[in-house]
Amino acid sequence: MDQRPINDISFEKFLSEDVLMGSVCGSCGARFVPPRSLCPTCYGSEMKWVEMKGTGKLAAFTCITIAPPFMIAQGYNRKNPYCSGVVELDEGGRVDARIIGVDATRPEEIKVGMPVRVTFIHWGEEKETFLAFEPA
Ligand SMILES: [Zn+2]
């Protein structure tokens, strides 16, 4: 499975299989999620896939009441907000994701720095996959 090209399409495909993959730079060891094919740190191009454990800490979040259409379709709105955040992964890399298992109507109770772990949301007839994290 690591023969797939390092790009967003492959990343999404892995997510649909409940696997969080990043890329690791063969020169400096930096990790990126979503994967990058070129290393922005050392400009190395020897990127390889690496499976991430999917544990990390919540680095930032926002609770969204004005949802985009694809989130409204999933039942989110002003009365039922959802939480979106940035997770700093234990193994390196920062990734944007949905934050679930928290009360988005009470953002004051959601703590930056709290440990989280990856989970995968499969939604709709197309089984569209969303990357999410929940309190660990
Ligand atoms: Zn590098």
- What percent of the chain has pLDDT above 70? 99
What is the CA(85)–ligand 1 centre distance, in A? 26
pLDDT of residue 1: 52
What is the CA(75)–ligand 1 centre distance, in A? 41
What is the CA(23)–ligand 1 centre distance, in A? 10
What is the CA(8)–ligand 1 centre distance, in A? 19
For the chain, list the domains and their CATH numbers. 8-51 (no CATH), 55-135 (2.40.50)
**Which residues fall within 8 angstroms of residue 122, CB to CB, at 6 or more apart?**
16, 128, 129
- The Cα 72–Cα 52 span in angstroms is 30
Q: What pTM was computed for the model?
A: 0.91
What is the CA(89)–ligand 1 centre distance, in A? 17
* pLDDT tens, residue by residue, 29-41: 999 999 999 999 9
Burial class (CB in 10 A: 0-12, 13-18, 19+), 9: exposed
What is the block-wise mean pLDDT of the chain (136 residues), using blocks of 10 residues? 86 96 96 94 94 98 93 92 97 95 96 98 88 97
